[in-house]
């Protein structure tokens, strides 16, 4: 990564000023789009970001929900914003303040709960009330997962190699990649387990108590109709670890709501010279000779570019923005077969006073950072809940993730 350029990037020399050709036009100004834009501009490229809404925010957005209260409308916790991105873009200077939210309570009955913590000793003590063996196992599990997360964090910075390429460049890239990672072969197997196993099977190798397993597997059921049993869901257990390390804490609440993430990245991107246009819904991507060459907004403005990056939904890009006639048949087939449906909804509640916690063990007013920040209700019923939701299209006791943002700290006061 070259050092980040400050100020306006160079203009394309051969183009008339009236119709610049950008090195890249990016469709959307969510935090991923803006990160992409900031890195490209930091490398000296000329970048323009086109944004549909009048504000520079996507699903990480803060808005006023009740007079005087600002809330994170969609996403509510920061989980895996890579620490290196935070450093490269100097997000702290641009207003990013992450408050740890690593205390999690998962009720297992009306009377009892399991508490997970960023501190291994506290989680261990929480597990000990249910299974001594699971409590003893937990530190080794935490280390095992942290090592896998470390590998994934490294891999996130790699351009994927294509081992099926038989030309010299393809072979040398694959060999270079294999050489670089041959020493972590065993850890790579851990990652493969996480990517292929079910959350249930993965945890079953370590733990015996189903309530302990449910508390650790809650992520596997959030936002899906999958539950902890389908293959491939184990990787979400690692989400918690992904935010840790490299100087970053685990999960965090954002001072000012999650919109602050997008705003901080937007500020960093602008500083690198990115040109952000809001209220510019892209209506068409034009192509020539198998390449995207320009985008046209609903208002009729055309922006020419050497490369177009898009973070809009794939079917929207391939079937609506692009002319399907220019697409290879296999891409068209995949775009047509792409199917998603929503399984979640969110309610923001502004309370006048902190929620009363019946159990004295959860009340720790003088040790605020240790107060639970997140409750997961019905995690131990997730599997049954998913089956019922599939059958009936709804579930009376769905999995509920309830983050308690401490308004007394004025994180979200407008």
Ligand X SMILES: Cc1cc2nc3c(=O)[nH]c(=O)nc-3n(C[C@H](O)[C@H](O)[C@H](O)COP(=O)(O)OP(=O)(O)OC[C@H]3O[C@@H](n4cnc5c(N)ncnc54)[C@H](O)[C@@H]3O)c2cc1C
Q: How far is the CB of 260 from ligand X (least distance, A)?
A: 13
Cβ-contact 262, 30 below 8 angstroms: yes
The closest alpha carbon to 230, from 399, 391, 386, belongs to 386
Q: Of the two residues 23 and 33, which places its CB atom closer to ligand X in the complex?
A: 33
String of DSSP letters for 240-302: HHHTSBTTB-SSEEETT-THHHHHHHHHHHHHTT-EEESS--EEEEEEETTEEEEEEETTS-E
- Establish if 79 lies at the interface with ligand X (CB under 6 A): yes
Q: What share of the chain is helix, strand, coil (3-state, %, to 5)?
A: 40, 15, 45
Phi then psi for residue 114, to 5 deg, are -110, 135
Which residue bears the tokens 């993730």? 401
- Cα 376 to its chain centre, rounded Å, is 19
Q: CA 266, CA 91: separation in Å to the nearest integer?
A: 10
Q: Of the two residues 27 and 38, which places its CB atom closer to ligand X in the complex?
A: 27
Q: Which of 25, 41, 45, 77 binds ligand X (CB under 6 A)?
A: 77
Give the CA radius of gyration of the chain: 23
Q: Of the two residues 33 and 271, which places its CB atom closer to ligand X in the complex?
A: 33
Q: Which stretch binds ligand X (CB under 6 A): 11-19, 68-76, 150-158, 381-389?
A: 68-76
How many residues contact ligand X, by CB under 6 A?
25
* Angle at alpha carbon of residue 24, lines to 153 and 328, rounded to 5°: 85
Q: Which of residues 34-63 bind ligand X (CB under 6 A)?
A: 50-53, 58-60
Cβ-contact 240, 222 below 8 angstroms: no
Q: Which of 104, 282, 335, 399 binds ligand X (CB under 6 A)?
A: 282
Q: Which of residues 121-150 bind ligand X (CB under 6 A)?
A: none
Binding letters toward ligand X, positions 303-332, x by CB under 6 A: --------xx--------------------
Classified as helix, coil or strand, 16 is: coil
- Establish if 281 lies at the interface with ligand X (CB under 6 A): yes
Q: Of the two residues 31 and 153, which places its CB atom closer to ligand X in the complex?
A: 31
- Establish if 278 lies at the interface with ligand X (CB under 6 A): no
Q: How far is the CB of 137 from ligand X (least distance, A)?
A: 28
Which residue bears the tokens 């990115």? 274
- Establish if 219 lies at the interface with ligand X (CB under 6 A): no
Could you tell me if residue 375 is left (phi over 0), alpha (psi between -120 and 50 degrees) or otherwise beta? beta
The number of residues making up the chain comes to 414
Q: How far is the CB of 38 from ligand X (least distance, A)?
A: 12
Strand (E) or helix (H) holding 121: helix 120-128
- Establish if 178 lies at the interface with ligand X (CB under 6 A): no
Q: Of the two residues 212 and 248, which places its CB atom closer to ligand X in the complex?
A: 248
- Establish if 348 lies at the interface with ligand X (CB under 6 A): no
Q: Of the two residues 222 and 350, which places its CB atom closer to ligand X in the complex?
A: 222
Q: Which of residues 17-36 bind ligand X (CB under 6 A)?
A: 27-33
100 burial (CB, 10 Å; 0-12 / 13-18 / 19+) is middle
- Establish if 346 lies at the interface with ligand X (CB under 6 A): yes
Q: How far is the CB of 50 from ligand X (least distance, A)?
A: 5
Q: Which stretch binds ligand X (CB under 6 A): 40-48, 69-77, 113-121, 177-185?
A: 69-77
Strand partners, 282: 297
Q: CA 306, CA 291: separation in Å to the nearest integer?
A: 9
Site of interaction with ligand X (CB under 6 A): 27-33, 50-53, 58-60, 74-77, 79, 281-282, 311-312, 344, 346
């Amino acid at each position: 990564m070259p050092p980040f350029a400050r100020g306006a990037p160079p203009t394309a020399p051969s183009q008339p000023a009236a119709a610049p050709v950008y090195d890249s036009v990016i469709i959307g100004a969510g935090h991923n789009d803006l990160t992409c834009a900031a890195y490209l501009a930091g490398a000296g490229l000329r970048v323009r970001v086109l944004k549909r809404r009048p504000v520079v925010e996507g699903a990480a957005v803060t808005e006023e929900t009740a007079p005087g209260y600002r809330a994170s409308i969609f996403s509510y916790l920061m989980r895996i914003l890579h620490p290196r991105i935070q450093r490269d873009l100097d997000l702290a200077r641009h207003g990013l303040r992450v408050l740890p939210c690593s205390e999690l309570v998962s009720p297992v009955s009306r009377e009892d709960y399991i508490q997970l913590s960023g501190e291994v000793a506290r989680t261990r003590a929480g597990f000990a009330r249910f299974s001594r063996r699971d409590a003893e196992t937990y530190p080794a599990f935490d280390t095992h997962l942290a090592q896998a997360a470390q590998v994934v964090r490294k891999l996130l910075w790699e351009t994927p190699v294509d081992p099926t390429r038989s030309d010299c460049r393809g072979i040398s890239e694959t060999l270079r990649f294999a050489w670089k990672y041959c020493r972590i072969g065993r850890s790579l197997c851990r990652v493969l387990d996480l990517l292929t196993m079910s959350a249930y099977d993965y945890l079953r190798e370590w733990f015996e108590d189903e309530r302990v397993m449910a508390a650790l597997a809650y992520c596997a059921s959030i936002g899906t109709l999958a539950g902890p049993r389908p293959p491939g869901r184990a990787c979400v257990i690692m989400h918690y670890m992904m935010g840790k390390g490299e100087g970053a804490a685990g999960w965090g609440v954002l001072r000012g709501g999650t919109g602050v993430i997008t705003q901080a990245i937007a500020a960093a991107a602008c500083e690198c010279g990115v040109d952000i246009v809001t209220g510019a819904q892209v209506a068409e991507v034009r192509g020539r000779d198998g390449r995207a060459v320009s985008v046209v907004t609903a208002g009729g403005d055309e922006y020419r570019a050497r490369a177009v990056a898009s973070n809009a939904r794939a079917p929207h890009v391939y079937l609506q923005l692009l002319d399907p006639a220019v697409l290879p048949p296999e891409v068209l087939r995949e775009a047509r077969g792409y199917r998603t449906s929503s399984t979640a909804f969110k309610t923001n509640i502004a309370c006048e006073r902190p929620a009363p916690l019946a159990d004295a063990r959860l009340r720790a007013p003088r040790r605020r950072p240790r107060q639970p920040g997140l409750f997961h209700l019905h995690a131990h019923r997730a599997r049954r809940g998913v089956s019922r939701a599939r059958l009936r299209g709804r579930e009376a006791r769905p999995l509920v993730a309830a983050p308690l943002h401490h308004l007394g700290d004025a994180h979200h006061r407008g």
